[in-house]
Amino acid sequence: MKIALALLSATLAAASAHATDDACSLQPLHPAGSSVDAGSLHLDLGAPDNVSKPTAWEGPITVSRQGRKVCTVKDNVAIVSPPLMLGNRRFLLVPTYSGSESIFYVVDTQDCSVRWQSQPYAGDAVIKKNTVDLHDAGRARIGAQCVPDSPTAGS
């Protein structure tokens, strides 16, 4: 009986761990001034639009992490706007805009590479649990590796 309970407990624990591996764990980031920290990760977002209460940052984004080389995200990942999220403590989910056009990016903070970018859209990105709504560009499910799938139009 004890062996059966032990096996059942181990099976349930493994199933629970597998269930959490199927989702991207999102952490909201709240910049102070021109930067934001999350554990050993430090992001410099560039000059803020308003020093006392920023709502956008000029970029480029510079990433530093304890034990890793500092890197800079490519120039087109700017002007940065909220909401900023960190997925699985590694992937930066970042909306940007220029004029009336917005583009949503997923950046790997280990090497500053762009892992995914949306089609241009108008309006603000809305991130809810495991989806990102990009208005006229559609809604995309955020996968386990924190990279959205292709947006579905009209969602």
Model pLDDT for residues 75-98, shown as the tens digit of each residue: 889 999 999 999 999 999 999 999
| Predicted pLDDT at 94 | 95
Percentage of the residues of the chain whose pLDDT score is greater than 90: 64
| Predicted pLDDT at 21 | 54
| Predicted pLDDT at 151 | 65
Which range, 49-53, 63-67, 106-110, has the best average confidence (pLDDT)? 106-110
148 neighbors 132 (Cβ within 8 angstroms): yes
Asked if pLDDT for residue 143 goes beyond 50, the answer is yes
Rounded to 10 degrees, what is the CA torsion of 59, 63, 69, 73? -40
Tell me the mean pLDDT in the region 117-121. Answer: 92
Distances (CA, A) of 118 to 38, 45, 46, 72, 104: 25, 20, 22, 20, 5
**What DSSP string describes 46-69?**
-SBSSSSS-S-B----EEEETTS-
The model's pTM is 0.81
| Predicted pLDDT at 137 | 83
Q: Identity (one letter) of the amino acid at 62?
A: T
**What domains lie within the chain, and their CATH numbers?**
25-121 (2.40.128.650)
Average pLDDT of the residues of the chain: 84
Tens of pLDDT, residue by residue over 15-46, are 333 344 568 999 999 999 999 999 999 999 99
- The pLDDT-based confidence of 50 (bands split at 50, 70, 90) is very high
